[in-house]
Structure 1
């Protein structure tokens, strides 16, 4: 079948590490102390708490994702590198969650 052909698999998983020197690309970053109270933060282990259906649907789910996308500290009108990376990470997270939910809660999966 089509899945039997593994040609090119190594190329797909290859990681380009040519610019991987730690800190080299981010010399302009500044370490800021976060104003948030760390005592109110909660650590959630996603290995122990995998993505699953939360009951949010329709407008409620859209409001949750909008809040996640909008909750950031970017102030400029142009997208900087950090903002593009942030949005790609959040987009990937949303895709992963949606995929895992679809896998677990597909129609007819009684």
Structure 2
């Protein structure tokens, strides 16, 4: 059924438009009586099971994983000397015309 106010198409048994709230009872009367859906109807009712899926359990005991190399301690804090930056590589990236075109295109509205 099409709403007379906004044109939204909805189910024939709906008496109020979901989009604009228009009362559609007059349109329903003109079209005739339509069967009402079952209140507990579900397209997937045959697929739904009453049992819950088993809880996921990790296949590995997480306590056995060594993550010590991922933790930076106070004595191992990164300093400027640990970072190796090649200024020439940065300049090459900045001067790359293909990259600049891609960046400009991605920033366009």
TM class, shorter-length? under 0.3
Give 1 or 2 for the bigger CA radius of gyration.
2
After TM superposition, the score normalised by the length of structure 2 is: 0.22
- Ranked by relative contact order (alpha carbons within 8 Å, sequence separation 6 or more), the top structure is 1
After TM superposition, the score normalised by the length of structure 1 is: 0.22
* Structure with higher helix content: 1
